Structure 1
Amino acid sequence: MKLRLARTHHPVTTLGPGRRIGIWVQGCGIGCPGCVARDTWVAEPRHDVEVADVLAWCARHIGDAAGVTITGGEPSEQPAALAELVHGLHALNDDWDVLCYTGVEFDEFERRCPEALTGIDALITGPFRITEPTDLVWRGSANQRLIPCSERGEQRYRRWALAERDRPELQLQVGDERVWMIGIPGRGDLARLQRVLRDQGIELEGVSWRP
């Protein structure tokens, strides 16, 4: 089974609790205005990776990851690969929790991905709406909901459902002459990030969050 994959990273500390594995899928037909991950919209054959290879990479971090966050792109557009991935993650480490982002609402995700949903501990649902800024943790707009989907999810995520962050948290990953931002920026954070990098002599070209 192949997964259309954008990238992976560890550790991720800004998309869920604790030090986490981050998996970004490739391909999104929703196209929310203002999306900061436009580079993950278009999927091509070069993005195809065996799910088994992704799981093998994740296995290297069993001792140093509290869970796994799957985002994108739109995971629900790959239901079979997503199901194999999430159940494979629990087979690797049953103590991991799996947090998944989706741009569709819960009922639509459940319709698209019934098999995957049984292996997901919490979902963050709903499209990003640039006109509805929020301070809710791990969410980009106020309409998005954090929904526990399992007993583990209830234990680990229920308290975060209405929690607010006191400041935005962003990580930077540098590689292959690219800078990747990990996290949920607040209003104005991307412009500030560019100014800080420019002051250090780093000029961003081909910024993914702009059309």
Structure 2
Amino acid sequence: MRTFNLKIFFLLFCLTLVVNVFSQSTIQLKFSPIGIHPFNETNKHLFDNKIDENAIFVTEPLFLLCYESYLREDSFAFRGMFGFLNDAAAKPAITLHLGLKQRLVQIWRNSFSVGAGFNLYGRGLWSTIPGYIQEKHWGANGTWEYKLGFMGELEYALFLNDKNDLTLSLLYGHQQNTFTVTIGYKYWISSIIKHPKKCGNCPFQKTSKHWNP
């Protein structure tokens, strides 16, 4: 059953890359050097790359590739993410995300958005590490193990021009019980807005022809 669920999740992720291809869409690369672990965790004693004594801040380089397809104007989107990192126990890890994103507010070149959705965690087997304490809900597959979870994001974006944005995000859930802060670059692939609202003078809206100054 677990294998079936993973196959369905992967299939849905692939479908997001082709659905709504004619609507406004973006691709984004995010990076973070540090994971934040504020909670008590069963295997915190295994965090090899901890920065502080309590292993709250851990060196966990993360690269996250994001694709967004806008379903309504340039404010509501369906998105998929794929990321890879060196996790808290110095094991290779991946994250696969499907979710929705909604812009909360836009003030000239600045916007704030919130996103949430389901996540698939993957990591090299921790059970091979001496001193590992068994954790629940992880399913092994060869030398890797996987688990389903949830990820949420608060994103700030600075509009540079028609095609380019800079972003700063607070993420929770790219790995279980973990926060991180990312910096990113967003490129607007398509400028065709699906279901645009009627607005004759909307400043700094990504439009089908140009970016309104």
Taking structure 2 as the reference length, the TM-score comes to: 0.26
Taking structure 1 as the reference length, the TM-score comes to: 0.26
Q: Could you say which structure has the larger radius of gyration?
A: 2
Tell me which protein shows more strand as a share of its residues. Answer: 2
Greater RCO (Cα-Cα under 8 Å, separation 6 or more): 2
